[in-house]
Amino acid sequence: MSFTKKIINTDKAPAAVGTYSQGVVHNGVYYFSGQIGLDAKTGELAGSFDSQLENILKNIDALLLSQDLTRENIIKTTIFMTDLSQFGKINEAYTHFFTSPYPARSTVQVSGLPKGAVVEIEVVAAK
């Protein structure tokens, strides 16, 4: 039995900022790399927490769309934040981004993120 995976690469979302892929598909499960608040066109990081979060959600939508997926295909998210006091803003954004029932989620506070970002979200989706 051979192992197969497909690499996800789209110009509709920011390019990887390191040695990783935007995502990988294996057995109908889509593992998308964490998104920080980069503007997909300029590659620049947004300034505020709210702006970064808005860009992240737009970038997640772009990644999903590139694979003919929607938000409803997301089964798990992992959120990395440099300041958990902003957690209420995540919950508020979720009420607009997702519909109930919400995907599974983990959230952790970290000491730093790439490019000085204050929040990063990765998603796992399935068809």
The 10s digit of each residue's pLDDT in 26-51 is: 999 999 999 999 999 999 999 999 99
| pLDDT (mean) for 54-59 | 97
Cβ-count burial of 94 within 10 angstroms (0-12 exposed, 13-18 middle, 19+ buried)? middle
Distance CA 24, CA 78 (A): 16
Q: In what helix (H) or strand (E) does residue 119 lie, and over which residues does it extend?
A: strand 119-126
Domains along the sequence of the chain with CATH: 6-126 (3.30.1330.40)
Statement: residue 24 has pLDDT above 90:
yes
- The pLDDT, as a whole number, for residue 48 is 96
pLDDT above 90 (res 72):
yes
